[in-house]
Amino acid sequence: MNRSAKKNHSVDFLFSILLFGVYVLFLLLMLLSSARAYQNAVRGTEENYNLRTAMSYLTVKIRQHDNGKDISLSDFQGTEAICLEDEIQGRKLTTYIYLYDGQLKELFTPASSTASLSMGTDIASLDSFIIEETAEGFFRISMEDTNGTAASFLIHPGPPAA
């Protein structure tokens, strides 16, 4: 009689299948968890994209006009706008930044033209855009994106104090 020969039991086979099943279940749970984490990261990025884009854009545009006298608030066809004045090769040009139809827009046009609100280039999707000039000469810009996230910041249009 040969006792060294292995006998295969159905319990050995079932244990192997059960172990493999637990491994596959663990992999599926890890995959679902990773997909959920990725979705949350993408959602967070999308929620902040419009506000960050609008804030960065406005900061750069205002700093480009850092002498302080080429920036004003104006009523552009019934809409509150930041008005940035430029002179290029003897021509006076105006950049208007305003909210129209749920979009923050920029319109770069000759100062003497009769442009319309719809002609502007879309910058970001926003629900509200409010500009105020403070007594100290700062501009307070408040905005809210389409998800209801709000942001507000102050920026001074002049050169830095010495």
Tens digit of each residue's pLDDT (9 = 90 or more) over 127-160 = 999 999 888 888 899 999 888 888 999 988 776 6
Q: Read off the tokens for 47.
A: 């929620």
pLDDT for 115 beyond 70: yes
Q: What is the pTM of this model?
A: 0.70
Domain ranges of the chain: 51-155
pLDDT above 70: residue 3? no
Output the pLDDT for position 135.
86
Give the pair of three-digit tokens for residue 4.
Answer: 């060294």
**Among 119, 157, 151, CA closest to 138:** 157
Tell me the pairing of strands 91-100 and 79-88: antiparallel
For 21, counting Cβ atoms within 10 Å of its Cβ (0-12 exposed, 13-18 middle, 19+ buried), the class is: exposed
SS3 track for the chain: CCCCCCCCCHHHHHHHHHHHHHHHHHHHHHHHHHHHHHHHHHHHHHHHHHHHHHHHHHHHHHHHCCCCCCEEEEEECCEEEEEEEEEECCEEEEEEEEEECCEEEEEEEECCCCCCHHHCEEEEEEEEEEEEECCCCCEEEEEEECCCCEEEEEECCCCCCC
Among 5-14, 17-26, 87-96, which stretch is predicted with the lowest mean pLDDT? Answer: 5-14
- Res. 162 pLDDT band, cuts 50 70 90: low
